Amino acid sequence: MSYSMMLARAASLLLIFLFGPRAMAQLVVGTTQSPSALVQNVLLGNGVAVSNVTFNGAPGNVLNDQIGDFDGTASNIGLGQGVLICTGAVQVALGPNNSDSWSEPVGTPVFSPDPDLEQIVGAGLTNDDAVLEFDFVPSGDSVSFRFVFASEEYTEFVCSDYNDVFGFFISGPGFTGPFQNGAENIALIPGTTVPIAINT
């Protein structure tokens, strides 16, 4: 069975970001692996064929400060390891977070706003998108993902005009969602159809 998957996120942070100095001090972040290596070795592992990896439109073999791996065994993330995707540099996740708008710019954004994210929050309302895309084929009949969304925007920007949003889009045979290529967003508040964001 062939699937196409896209992890996407806008505003301040995607996938994993810890808030709270105690947890940040116990997080270990690395930026030495390419997006392709992170997808194959950390996100998916054995038994899955991966192709067409891109990060923010660049080839998957190009290193980028917005994506890395993390070891969260001594933290309160709830995941022992994984891929960290941020709109700024991933090293910011280490903290301390003692600013209302802490971020580490990574240069001039060259990636256009993601249409799937804009469908969630509205056209023109995303900034600093961080988009990981790849195709994969599992050797079995199913695949599962665990993810955590967190944002530097908690708590100072909750229910404000600044709405960090996260999308985990999957498409392929059997998917007929409203997003590009019939994708469905599986990043929803459990038991609802409400997308995950700091305002939900």
Q: Which are the contacts of 184, defined by CB distance < 8 A and separation ≥ 6?
A: 169, 170, 171, 175, 176, 177
Contact yes or no for 26/74 (Cβ under 8 A): yes
Q: Among 62-66, 157-161, 196-200, which stretch is predicted with the lowest mean pLDDT?
A: 157-161
Tell me how far apart the alpha carbons of residues 159 and 58 are, in angstroms, rounded to a whole number.
33
Q: Round the CA-based radius of gyration of the chain to a whole number and report it.
A: 16
Tell me, what DSSP letter sits at residue 6?
E
Residue 106 pLDDT level (bands cut at 50, 70, 90): low
Tell me how far apart the alpha carbons of residues 129 and 87 are, in angstroms, rounded to a whole number.
6
Tell me how far apart the alpha carbons of residues 6 and 135 are, in angstroms, rounded to a whole number.
8
pLDDT, tens digit, for every residue of 51-71? 999 999 899 999 999 999 999
- Mean pLDDT computed over 100-105: 62
pLDDT at 24: 43
pLDDT, tens digit, for every residue of 69-84? 999 898 888 899 999 9
Per DSSP, helices labelled H in the chain are: 21-25, 35-37, 115-121
pLDDT at 122: 78
- Mean pLDDT computed over 127-137: 89
Strand 184-185 to 67-71 pairing: unpaired
pLDDT at 109: 55
At 159, the amino acid letter reads C
Would you kindly state where each structural domain of the chain is located, as residue ranges? Answer: 3-185
Tell me how far apart the alpha carbons of residues 142 and 51 are, in angstroms, rounded to a whole number.
18
Mean predicted lDDT score pLDDT of the chain: 80
pLDDT greater at residue 181 or residue 159: 181
Residue 17 pLDDT level (bands cut at 50, 70, 90): very low
Tell me, what DSSP letter sits at residue 195?
B
The beta strand positions in 56-189, using DSSP E, are 58-59, 67-71, 81-86, 130-138, 165-171, 184-185
Q: Which are the contacts of 16, defined by CB distance < 8 A and separation ≥ 6?
A: 70, 72, 77, 79, 82, 83, 84, 85, 93, 147, 148, 149, 150
Residue 154, pLDDT above cutoff 80: no
